[in-house]
């Protein structure tokens, strides 16, 4: 018996491998601690001074 697979079989396995790689990268990124900061803009207005 001879098994013949089309191009869609290879595309399916390729998509599965890329999906698995994306999951691994997302799990690795989950461990890193990201620093969030809020930028403040301070405006000095000379007309407010007495």
d(CA 11, CA 17): 10
pTM of the model: 0.52
Q: Which residue carries 């595309």 as its tokens?
A: 11
Round to whole Å and give the CA distance between 49 and 41. 19
Q: What is the reported pLDDT for 46? A: 65
Residue 47, pLDDT score: 64
Q: Token match 């890193």: residue?
A: 32
Give the integer Cα–Cα distance in Å for 18 and 12.
10
Band of residue 36 on the pLDDT scale cut at 50, 70, 90: low
**Token couple for 29:** 């990124």
**Mean pLDDT within 22-50:** 72
């Amino acid at each position: 018996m001879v098994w013949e697979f089309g191009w869609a079989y290879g595309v399916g396995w390729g998509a599965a491998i890329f999906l698995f790689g994306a999951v691994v990268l997302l799990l690795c990124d989950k461990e890193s601690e990201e620093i969030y900061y809020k930028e403040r803009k301070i405006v000095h207005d000379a007309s407010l001074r007495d």
